[in-house]
Structure 1
Amino acid sequence: MTANYTETKEALLQAALPHVAFDGWSDATFQAAVRDADVAPAVARAVCPRGAVDLALAYHAAGDQAMLDRLQSEDLSALRFRDRIAAAVRYRLEAIEDKEAVRRGTTLFALPTHAADGAKAIWGTADAIWTALGDTSDDVNWYTKRATLSGVYGSTVLYWLGDDSVDHQATWAFLDRRIDNVMQIEKLKAQVRENPVLSKMMAGPNKLMQTIKRPSGLGGFPGRWSGPKN
């Protein structure tokens, strides 16, 4: 990726943001960004083949990077692991400077034609959080952790969009409840493993699950199937 490519996309993104509140992540916004950033239309299309959709994804990726930068600068060592996850999600939301841009993004990625892009973006956020917090799982847990956190993050974003409480305190309380729900699931899984009867019942499914491995060289999405072990 060349610096010129990165700089051009960033210029287009910054030029687009003032228009998003009025026209959403639409072709009208993209055309206005091309004009305002003084970028040749052919160059703009080379950088963003899908126009505003690519800019919306770039905006999401920028938020992920801001979250990662903050995670690196904060000392979370004194926190419980569930609180580190909550902090990461909170940092991700606090990195957003334009709530309307996110609101318009949820509308865009709710469309059937772009739903896969939206799901992949949220999965990428969950993956970035788990990786930053030191996750080393390489089996089915790699997927379940990210799938669960994707659900937590996605539902929290929707709640946050409608939250008008002071300093978004209602959102942080909602986030804590969602993470508590997840921890209850993990507690139940541990109880199943410790129960002699249930653990025997799950022996077959668990053996099958052990054949599922984390992605390898595929950008984290999707994974691969290694086949049953003899």
Structure 2
Amino acid sequence: MTQTPDETASDAGSQLLDAALMHVPFDGWSDTAFRAAIEDTGIAPAVARGLFPRGAIDLAAAFHRRGDDAMVTALQQHDLSTMRFRDQVTLAVRLRLEAVEDKEAVRRGATLFALPMHAAEGARLVWGTADRIWTALGDTSRDINWYTKRATLSGVYSSTVLYWLGDDSLEHQATWAFLDRRIGDVMQIEKTKAQLRKAPGLSSVLKRADSLLSRVKAPKSKHSNLPGGWTVPR
């Protein structure tokens, strides 16, 4: 069966990424690893640069998104209907980490995206992971909650990854305990916010804040050039 151009490009990209992963533990996500992947696969350098214009940076990003895809696939195989929502989120983060086959590749990626010139890219990737998790769990929020959910989960995910990278406990049990504590912290914050809304002196202030924040809207589509929207009251 003849492949479409998109399928051919996808196959070539996967081959390059797989080949690069053999070199990343030694050379990091570097141009050296990128050139080695090109040589190993025999893919024309011009084609490789067309698929990954920034070289190893784009390869590292593709590696991260591959993990997101694996997490969503694994999450779809679980029955979430009987699980508490906090447990669903915990499971999703755990599956995301368990999707990693090479911890050293993640460690090298964390080092790369910690550099000032690549920090924004790293933040986008983490936000993308949080978005994939919330979307997979059926989040339908389209207001300010769309942002706060992803921002909060991005923080939980980032801290858990850093803990996981240094965790040498049996089957990463220490990491899962750390993750459960972080989710618990978030739930406690939400509980405190709910209590504040009932406080006589703060309820009116919070209601005005909610009225203002209600104008913030989630992105209309993934292809939108703007991060969100703002409705003007009539």
Stretches of structure 2 lacking an aligned partner (at least 5 in a row): none
2:56 equivalent among 45, 52, 56: 52
Partner of residue 22, structure 1: 26
Partner of residue 35, structure 1: 39
**TM-score normalised by L of structure 1:** 0.96
Corresponding letter in the other structure for 2:210 = N
Partners of 1:184 and 1:162 in 2: CA distance:
26
Partner of residue 70, structure 1: 74
CA RMSD between the two structures: 1.4
SS state at 2:142 partner: coil
Residue 162 of structure 2 is aligned to residue 128 of structure 1: no
Partner of residue 167, structure 2: 163
What does 1:1-230 align with in structure 2 at a 5 Å threshold?
A: 2-219=6-223, 223-230=227-234
Change (3 A) 1:90 1:101: same
Cα deviation digits, residues 124-151 of structure 1 (max 9, x gap)? 0000100111111110000000000000
Corresponding letter in the other structure for 2:61 = L
CA apart distance, 1:32 = 0.1
Could you list the structure 1 runs, at least 4 aligned residues long, displaced by more than 6 angstroms after superposition: none
Partners of 2:112 and 2:77 in 1: CA distance:
32
Partners of 1:126 and 1:217 in 2: CA distance:
16
Do the aligned partners of 2:217 and 2:230 also contact (CA within 8 Å) in 1?
yes
Stretches of structure 1 lacking an aligned partner (at least 5 in a row): none
CA apart distance, 1:220 = 7.7
CA apart distance, 1:57 = 0.6
Indicate the percent of aligned positions where both proteins have the same amino acid.
60
Partners of 2:120 and 2:91 in 1: CA distance:
27
CA apart distance, 1:186 = 0.7
Do the aligned partners of 1:140 and 1:212 also contact (CA within 8 Å) in 2?
yes
Cα deviation digits, residues 122-177 of structure 1 (max 9, x gap)? 00000010011111111000000000000000000000000000000000000000
SS state at 1:97 partner: coil
SS state at 1:75 partner: coil
Partners of 1:151 and 1:222 in 2: CA distance:
22
Do the aligned partners of 1:48 and 1:55 also contact (CA within 8 Å) in 2?
yes
Partners of 1:161 and 1:206 in 2: CA distance:
39
Do the aligned partners of 1:208 and 1:228 also contact (CA within 8 Å) in 2?
no
